[in-house]
Every structure is written in C-alpha cells, then in structure tokens.
Amino acid sequence: MSDLVPISITVNGRKYELEVEPRLLLVHLLREKLLLTGTHVGCDTSQCGACTVLLDGRSAKSCTVFAVQADGSEVVTIEGLERDGQLHPVQEGFWEEHGLQCGYCTPGMILSVVDLLNENPNPSEAEIRAGIAGNFCRCTGYQHIVKAAQYAAQRLRG
Amino acid sequence: MTTMERPVLPKLIGARVKRREDPRLIRGRATYVDDIKLPGMLHLAFKRSDVAHGRITRIDTSAAEAMPGVVAIFTGRDLMALPGATRPVGARGTYAAKIGAGLPPMPIGTPFPSPAHYAIAPEVARYVGEPVAVVVAEDRYLARDAADAIVVEYEELPAVVDPELAMQGQPTVIHEGFPNNLALPYVPMGTGVDPATGAVDNSAIDRAFAEAEVVISQRMVNHRVAPNAMEPRGVVAHWDAGKEFLTIWSATQNPHILKSMVAAVLGLGEHQVRAIAPEVGGGFGCKINIYGEEYVAAALSRILERPVKWIEDRSEAFMATIHGRDLICYLDLAARRDGRILGVKMRLIADIGAYNMLLTAAIPTLTMLMASGTYDIPAIRCELTEVFTNKTPTDAYRGAGRPEATYFLERGIDMLARELGLDPAEVRRRNFIPKEKFPFTTQTGAVYDSGDYEKALNRALELAKWDELIAERDRMRAEGRLVGVGMAFYVEVCGLGPSSSLPTGGWEHASVTVERDGRIRATTGASPHGQGNETTFAQMLADLFGVPIEHITIEHGDTAVVRQGIGTFGSRSQAVGGAALMMAGEKVRKKMAKFAAALMDANEEDLVFENGMIYVKGSPTTGKSFAEVARYAYIPVPLPPGLEPGLSEEAFFEPPNNTYPFGAHICMLEIDRETGEPRLLKFFAVDDCGNVINPLIVEGQVHGGLAQGIGQALFEEVVYGPDGQLLTGSFMDYALPRATDFPWFELDRTVTPTPVNPLGAKGVGEAGTLGSTPAVVNAAVDALAEFGVKHIDMPLRPEKLWRIIHGRAQA
C-alpha cells in the first residue's frame, strides 16, 4: 500500500527493514509485528511506563513514539537485556529482592532502572525513587523495587 | 555410611524463598491475554456512552460499516435480537439466526433484587462508558476507527450523581421498579436485630447512648476509587464450531466462575467451556467480576465462527471496570469518660453506581459485619442503604467493605481520644477484646477466630518508638512545622468461605500428582495474579514430601487442567487454597507411604520423607529414593493388596469459618504550611496474619496494600461532575501514587495462628489497605490540631489542607 512508510530499525541487536503505517506506535511494532510481547501497554496517556524500552540507549515510553520516528534507531527491549544467557544485574536484583508481583509493570520498570544506573551508578534512595517516578507499579508499593535497584547498583559497581 | 551422600534439603515453610514465577516475568517471556494471537483472530472495539443518562434514539453505523476491515457491528438490540436491530455488515441473516434468543441480562452473585443489566445497553445508557455498540474488525486500529465513526443520538435524561439526593428520587429515578433509586432500601445489622426476621429492638442501643458521658458524631465519606490493576482487562474467545466448544482466555481472578457464568449466559453446558486465566497483571478485586465484554466476546466468536480479542484501554478501564468504596457513614459513638465505648451506630449510604454487578450489593454489608473492629463493644447498630446513581458500578476493591469499616471506626476512636485528651493507644487498649475471649462473637454476628491485639499494639508502639515519635513531633512543631502522628488498629475478615458465605461456594480445590519419575505436579483453584502461589505452594509440598522445590510444578488458571476451583479474592489463597493443597498432598503421601512400606517391608507409620528419600525413622541409609517408590506405584509388581496403582489425589477444603487477621499501623505526616502539601515521613506496620509460609511474599503484600491505602488517603479519587461526566478518566487526572510518594515502610509481625485451617494461616493480601487509610487521616488531623480540625474527608489534597491552614475551609 502506498501509505506505508519504509523504516529500518535495530531491535535487540537485530536489524529489521519494515514498511509501516505512519500512525503505528513503536510499542505496537514491537508487540504485533516483531512479536516481542515483553513490552506492555498499561495506559494510553504516557503516564504508566509499562512500555518503557531503551531507544538509542535512553529510556523511552514506546507508546509515545511512532515507529517511523524510530527509523534508524536502536531499540533494546526486556527480551534483549540478557547477555550470554545471564540475567542483567537489574533483572537479577528484581528477582533477589522480590521487586515484582504481577509482573506487568516489570519490564518497563527494569529498563527505567537500567537507564537510571547508566546515568547514576550510585544513586541514593531518593534518586532511585525519582528515577522510577515515571513508572507505575500497583503491587509492590515500590519498596522492593528500590531494593532491587540498590542491589543492581552494587553489582554493577563490582 | 552417613546421609551425607544425599544433599540435605532445607525446610522451606517459613523461609524467604525467591519466587519461582519471576524468571519468566523479568525476562519478558510471560504470556498475558494481550500476548495471545490465534489464526484468523478478529478484534473488538466498544462504542461507549458519552452521556451519563440518556435514552438511545438513533445509532448510525453506516459510516463505520463502510470502513475497510470492518466485519460486523452489533448494537445492544442486535445482541438481544430485538426488533429495530441495525444491520451488521455481511450476512445479516446468518448472524441473526445464530444469535437466536439473544444474550440475556447478565447474572449477579447476590440474592438481592436487581434491574436488568445487558452487556450492551439496548435502550438507555446509565453511566458514561456503558457500551452501546461493538465493532468487529480485522485489526485493532481499524476497530477503534470504526467505533469512533458510529454516531449515537440520545435523548438526555437528568444525571443522578449525589447519592443522598438520589435516595429522595432526585433528580430522577434511574431504574423502573426501584423507587427513589433504592437498590437496597434498608438493611439493619447488630444489637437487637433478628437476622432471621429483620425485626429491630432498639432498647440496648438506646440505653448505651442514654448512659454515655460523651458522644462523638461525624459524617464521613470513604470515597470512590479506581482499582487500576496495571494490566487492563482483556479477553480472547475462540468458539470451535466443529466441537461446539468455547475456549475463553481472560484477565480474571477466577476462571472457574467465568466458565460457569459464560456457559449459563450463552446457553451452553459447563462441559462445553474451558476458561483460562493466563498470566494476570494484578486484580485487587476488579477482575473478580464477569463483565459484559467477556460475554460479548464469547457470543461474537460463536456467531462469527472466528476467534475474537478485546483489550481494554486505560481510559476505558476508568469508565468500564468496577470502582471501589464510595460509602457515606453517619457515625455515632457513645463512651464513658475513661474511654470505654458503650455503643456504636453507623448509618451507611452506599453509592453503588448504575447497576448491580457480581458482588456489588454484598460489599457494604461487610462494612456492617466488621463495625466492631477489634473492640468489645456491647451495643452496635448498623443500617445500610444502597443507592443507584449514574456512575460506573462499584464492587470488590482490595479490602472490600472492611477498610471502610476500619476507617469509620478508627477515625471515631481517634476523635474520642482527642475529645477526652487520652492517648489514642490507651483508648484502643481499654476497649480491645481480650485474648482469652476468643473465639469472640461480635454484636454484628462475626465470629473472630483468634487474636492477641494487645501484643500487636505493643509491638507497633515499640517499632515506632511511640514516645520518642511524639517527642520528635513536638520538637518539629516547636520549629513551626505542621507535623502529626496517627495510628489505627484493624481486624479484617479473610479466608472467604465457608460456602454459606459465598454465592459461588466457599471451598477451594487442589490436586497433587507424583509422576512416575518422582516429580510433582499440583494444581490449585486459587488462580493467582501476582500472589506468588507457585512459590508458596511448592514450598509446602517440598517440605511435605522431602523433595527439592525444583521438582515441583504448581499449575493454575486453566479449567481444563485444574478440575475445580473458586478463585483468588478475599485473602483466601493460602488460608483456603493452601489448606486444600495440603489435604491433597497428605492423601498422596499416605498412599505413597503404603507403597514404600510394601517395597521395604516396613510399617508405613514409621516412614520419614526427607532429602529425596523415604526411610524408616532412624535408618536413613536403608531407605528407598522418592523416585524409586514413585515408579513402583505406577508399575506395581506386585500390587500391594488393597491399593490402586498411581499417586494422584484431589481435595476440596471447606473452611469452617473465616479468618480474622489484624494489626496496627502508625505513621508520621507533615503538611507544608505554605502549599498544604502532605508528606508521609514515617510509616510503621505490624500485621498478624497467623502462620507465614514465605515472609518475603508477605512483606510484598503488605507494602502493596499500604501503598493502596495511603494512595486513597492522600491522592486517589474518582470524581464525577454534576452532569455525571467522569472527570478523572485517565492517569492525567487520577493520581496513582508514584515511588516518590512513600517513605520507607518499617514492618514487623506478631503470629497468632488461626484454628480454622490446618496451616494456621489467616491471609494477608488486603491487610495493608485497612490500617493505613485511617492512620494517615488521623495523623493529618493531628498535624492540623492547632486549627481546631475535627475531621477531614479524604483524599487529603493540598488545596483542602491549605484552606484549613489559611482559614478558608469550605463549610
């Protein structure tokens, strides 16, 4: 169809050449076209952060980015976080510290923490709370997520 | 020889075991409803009413029908197969024949009279967000486009918004046959009320108030909130026309109830329906209900012979998923000057919204049931009226009726302490039900199983360093800061059953199978959505059988795999589901012991299951491996006399009573004098949920409950305009709490086991929502003591507090 737009996008290290509707949201590209369903949709106003991915290295809410805007970009989703079958330290922290219950906000929350620790390897409790303030969790009351981030920060600092 | 050749397995009950659910969830490999794709699957989008109250005069679907990818459009009349149905795109005749008699009104789970409630409104829309048509399309975007292109015209009717006007029939009556909008006109409970006849004798309650030295009276509102599980609702329905069999996946807390109700509404037998709750992203009560969208999806899959999917948007969830709370209380509390409570009256008005849903009418009755709190109150009178308004229906939200009771009573006791100049802990202590009086029957008829309230209160006072906390508050006040401390004590009713208390039955089911290789597969009807049953239940079986937890799988959520079940709500997973699991496990263990005894020529009573071995007590080196005995049970040569082959058993556990967990919450809160912004500085919670299987999971449950209770006290509120428009329709306007809104929660526990189940576990899922809400408001009132404030209705928005501080409170 003529109204489709060609884009080139690298997701979790793999390059895709696709034709997409201009209005297609990045989150739907990931979920519906690439079948990467680990990225979730929790709202429709960019508040909840369940859809957070890394877009060119920084956290971004993929429900607020059109797929065509991500043309030429590199995206990392929750499925792309492990290295050689090993959990990323942030994933490990969430497991160790019971940083999740229903798991729905978790992929976005993990990627926000990854971004936070990239920027600030040794955050205070208040800085962690501020760093994940763009992500809602309805289950945990956030305390174990803070502990998960502290665990990961320590692991990443070695 | 020693036992060292086999690893010694740690005992897991009571241990902080990491969750076995987590690897799939943290790796993005879990499957929620929206992750399911079936070949040929169509997508649904609902057209929803944008008026609060209106008679549908015309639905123009022509533009929508002409849009690409649209397969069919159905109005309420179409689905009811009524005259005047619009014409769906495609082979209308075929569809009409298959609809047959059409979808009947949706069933509810309470015995109270209820107006007809159709999945799609056929004639009158009664709240903003009520479905008026549904589009079926090849793609989700196209379905939404088409729904937006449907034009609906209404004859607008007056919106009924204020429940206290509604009960006078003002400005209009919403349902025929329910004069003055009364869903339940008057239900009394408590002292002098005969539950059988409803006859009321006022002498005892009147005497209590006549003898009172002090009476506290206050109108309070426990306002409407939105549950907001992070995963919105969703459903996939697949009718297999060849087998005449429906499979329905849904984000539900109770797939077995879904199966029964969908079968009933579609006119199918329960043997023709399989319901699956896949990974479910939170529930908090709002996914107990079986909603119109589920019936519509099932019906349309059957009509169209294609799989269909519907996924709720968040904006839809605010309108179309049940709301919680919304209860007005006129509280009167009679006491002596020493703080001893003589009587409590609660006149309750529940704004239940436009329709009765599954448990809507029953929720406020739990507020009445729990009106005695943790106190030995000699006279209690509750009176409940439930009122229809043009709002989204209410139903169970975490705590469901009990947080409301706790809030009203604990606010009242705080007012009493303030009035008498007594320590709020002391007033509570003087009224506690003493531990030797359990089981204790309250004036409202609740039979509390066990309790040691004094111990939990003392532990909370120690944890919070109460005296130091007061001194710290006073120091901060001396600096001109507005700081308050608040406490609340709660008891809740959990572990729902027994069957007499639930329309679905109050038991739970489990099965346990030891496979031929000694690995264990168990099923539970307690379908989790974040509770971690795969971990706690495996911990219990690992200890029971003496095998590694890695050898155990807990299956749930699929009615084809889990033969029977009720579901997860009312903090019942462990207390009822866990008990059923242990019953089934013990049956299998007993049978396995018989096989082992035959194999080892031993007495089955002498056998020990430990470290992957079954051996005679005292002789761990001469036993058989667990796997060897399992294999023998399936290839029983010779078959021991009186035994059937195999190791697979099931059990139903019917609890004799509910459980009554309790606890104390204490907090410190500061209000910014300039902006009115409240900020929690400290929060302490001591909860007693009986015996604990996994303390890590219990902590997580308490944290989450606290966040929701504090969220209600400080931020969250569903607001309707005077025209019945929903003003808080997204996260832009509805203030869900963020990580920055909470202090560090300091927790501790006391342990008072329950006698009503063999585990001694009471349940903890809802606990956090009970004490936290009144504790926060009590602290805010304390912080504003210098302004002579007696009560502030929630949520404690900065504007409201600023007006008090600056002398501009609205009357």
Distance of CA B41 to the CA centre of its chain: 31
One-letter-per-residue 3-state SS of B588-617 = HHHHHHHHHHHHHCCCHHHEEEECCEEEEC
Whole-number pLDDT of residue B153: 98
Residue linked to tokens 């699929």: B558
Q: Is B324's Cβ below 8 Å from some Cβ in A?
A: no
B533-545 vs B579-600: helix crossing angle, rounded to 10:
30
Chain A contact probe: residue of B25, B33, B38, B769 with most A CBs at under 10 A = B25
Tally the domains of chain A: 2
CB-CB under 8 Å, A36 with B26: no
pLDDT above 80: residue B246: yes
Cβ-defined contact of B22 to A87 (cutoff 8 Å): no
Over residues B262-275, mean pLDDT: 96
Which residues does B85 contact at the CB level (< 8 Å), separation at least 6? B75, B77, B78, B96
Q: Do B731 and A47 touch (CB under 8 A)?
A: yes
CATH of B324-494+658-805, one of 3.30.365.10, 3.40.50.970, 3.40.50.300, 3.60.21.10: 3.30.365.10
A38 vs B contacts (CB less than 8 Å): 27-30
State the pLDDT confidence band at B363, using cuts at 50, 70 and 90.
very high
The verdict on whether omega for the bond into residue B498 sits within 30 degrees of 0, i.e. cis, is: yes
Return residue ranges of chain B for CATH 3.30.365.10. 3-30+498-653, 324-494+658-805
pLDDT digits (tens, 9 = 90+) for B569-596: 988 999 999 999 999 999 999 999 999 9
Question: Does the beta-carbon distance from A102 to B26 stay under 8 Å?
Answer: no
Residue with tokens 């109108």, as numbered in its chain: B219
Looking at the fold, whether A94 and A74 belong to one and the same domain comes out as: no
Between strands B341-353 and B324-335, the pairing is antiparallel
Instruction: Report the distance separating Cα B328 and Cα B383, nearest Å.
Output: 11
Contact state of A103 with B530 under an 8 Å Cβ cutoff: yes
Instruction: Give the nearest partner residue to B26 out of A44, A106, A142, using CB atoms.
Output: A106
Separation of alpha carbons B318 and A59, rounded Å: 27
Encode pLDDT of B520-558 as tens digits.
Answer: 999 999 999 999 999 999 999 999 999 999 999 999 999
* CATH 2.102.10.10 is right for the domain spanning B33-157+232-280+287-320: no
A91 CB neighbours in chain B (<8 A) are: 26-27
Average pLDDT, stretch B280-295? 97
Tell me the residue type at B145: D
Half-sphere exposure in the Cβ direction for B125 (13 Å, CA) = 31
Tokens 């006072």, residue located? B461
Predicted pLDDT at B82: 66
Is the predicted pLDDT of residue B767 greater than 90, yes or no?
A: yes
Question: Residue B338's Cα: distance from chain center in Å?
Answer: 38
Per-residue confidence (pLDDT) for residue B98, from 0 to 100? 66
Same domain assignment for residues A106 and A72: no
Cβ–Cβ under 8 Å, residues B44 and B308: yes
Q: Do A10 and A75 fall into the same domain?
A: yes
What is the tens place of the pLDDT at every residue in B417-428?
A: 999 999 999 999
- Among residues B548, B557, B546, B555, which one has the least CA distance to residue B513? B555
Asked if residue A9 and residue A26 are part of one domain, the reply reads yes
C-beta of residue B370 within 8 angstroms of C-beta of residue B493? yes
Examine the fold and report which residue of A25, A59, A80 is the final residue of a domain before the chain moves on: A80
* pLDDT over 50 (residue B62): yes
- Report d(CA B512, CA B554) in Å as an integer: 9
Do the Cβ atoms of A139 and B700 come within 8 Å? yes
DSSP B741: G
Q: The complex's ipTM? A: 0.98
Strands B308-311 and B234-240, by their bridges, are: antiparallel
Token pair listed for B714: 């400080």
Please tell me the predicted confidence (pLDDT) of residue B102: 84
Whether residue A98 sits in one domain with residue A62: no
* Residue B355 to residue B174: CA distance in whole angstroms: 10
- On whether both A135 and A107 belong to a single domain, the answer is yes
Region for B177 from its dihedrals, namely left if φ exceeds 0, alpha if ψ lies in -120 to 50, beta otherwise: left
Give per-residue pLDDT as tens, B49-59.
999 999 999 99
Q: Which of A80, A100, A119 is the last residue of a domain?
A: A80
pLDDT at B87 over 70: no
pLDDT digits (tens, 9 = 90+) for B484-499: 999 999 999 998 888 9
Q: What is the predicted pLDDT for the residue at B86?
A: 62
The long-range contacts involving A62-66, CB below 8 angstroms and separated by at least 24 positions, are A62/A25, A62/A26, A62/A27, A62/A30, A63/A25, A63/A26, A63/A27, A64/A25, A65/A25, A65/A26, A65/A27, A66/A22, A66/A23, A66/A24, A66/A25, A66/A26
Q: Please spell the DSSP secondary structure of B774-795, one letter per residue.
A: HHHHHHHHHHTGGGT----PSS
Q: Cα(B659)–Cα(B450) distance, rounded to whole angstroms?
A: 8
Residues A73 and A106 in one domain: no
Q: Which amino acid is at B4?
A: M
Q: Looking at the structure, do residues A63 and A98 belong to the same domain, yes or no?
A: no
Question: What is the CATH code of the structural domain delimited by B3-30+498-653?
Answer: 3.30.365.10
CB contacts of A82 in chain B (<8 Å) are 27
Q: Within this chain, do residues A76 and A94 fall inside the same structural domain, yes or no?
A: no
Q: Report the alpha-carbon distance of residue B661 to residue B763 in Å, rounded.
A: 7
Residue B88 pLDDT: 56
Contacts of A51 in chain B (CB under 8 A): none
In the 3-class helix/strand/coil scheme, how is B367-408 assigned residue by residue?
A: HHHCCCCCECCCCEEEEEEEEECCCCCECCCCCCCHHHHHHH
pLDDT at B3: 44
| CA nearest to A102 within chain B | B530
**Residues B552, B548: Cα–Cα separation, whole Å:** 8
What does the block give as tokens for B793? Answer: 């209705």
- As a whole number of angstroms, the distance between CA B274 and CA B521 comes to 20
Q: pLDDT class for B2, splitting at 50, 70, 90?
A: very low
Instruction: Quote the pLDDT of residue B106.
Output: 95
pLDDT at B92 over 50: no
CA distance B635 to B208: 72
For residues B474 and B476, give the distance between their C-alpha atoms in angstroms, rounded to a whole number: 5
Query: Using CB atoms, which residue from B27, B529, B742 is nearest to A102?
Result: B529
**Mean pLDDT value across residues B13-22:** 97
Question: How many Å is the Cα radius of gyration of chain B?
Answer: 28
Residues of chain A where predicted confidence (pLDDT) is lower than 70: 1-2
Q: What is the DSSP letter of A22?
A: T
Domain membership of residue A122 as a residue range:
89-157
**Terminal alpha carbon distance of chain B:** 83
The predicted model scores a pTM of 0.97
The pair of three-digit structure tokens given for residue B780, joined into one six-digit string: 């805010």
Task: Lay out the sheet containing B613-616: strands in order across.
Answer: B607-610, B613-616, B624-625
Mutate to test the interface with B, among A32, A63, A135, A138 (most CBs of B within 10 A): A138
Shortest Cα distance, chain A CAs vs residue B21, angstroms: 9
Q: In the listed set A26, A54, A80, which residue is the last one of a domain according to the structure?
A: A80
pLDDT at B811 over 80: no
> Nearest CA of chain A to the CA of B778: how many Å?
21
Name the minimum distance, in Å, from the CA of B793 to any CA of chain A. 23
- Our CA-based measurement puts residue B731 at a distance from the nearest CA of chain A, in whole angstroms, of 6
DSSP B106: P
The helix (H) or strand (E) run that includes residue A154 is helix A143-157
The residue among B348, B323, B505 whose CA lies nearest residue B398 is B323
Hey, are the CB atoms on B745 and A48 less than 8 Å from each other? no
Bridge partners for B239 per DSSP: B246
Cis amide bond preceding B503, omega within 30: no
Same domain? A100 vs A138: yes
Determine if residue B690 is left, alpha or beta; phi over 0 gives left, psi from -120 to 50 gives alpha, anything else beta. Answer: left
- Report the CATH number that the domain containing residue A64 is assigned in CATH: 3.10.20.30
Collect all residues with Cβ–Cβ distance below 8 Å to B592 and sequence separation of at least 6: B514, B609, B614, B629, B630, B633, B647
| B191/B96 Cα distance (integer angstroms) | 56
Share of chain B above pLDDT 70, in %: 96
Residue B530 burial (CB count, 10 A): 30
Q: What is the average per-residue pLDDT within B239-246?
A: 95
A51 plus A106 within the same structural domain: no
Arithmetic mean of pLDDT over chain B: 95
A103 and A64 in a common domain: no
CA distance B435 to B657: 18
Residue A142 is part of a domain; what is its CATH number? 1.10.150.120
* Range 42-81 of A in CB contact (< 8 A) with B: 42-45, 47-48, 50, 77-79, 81
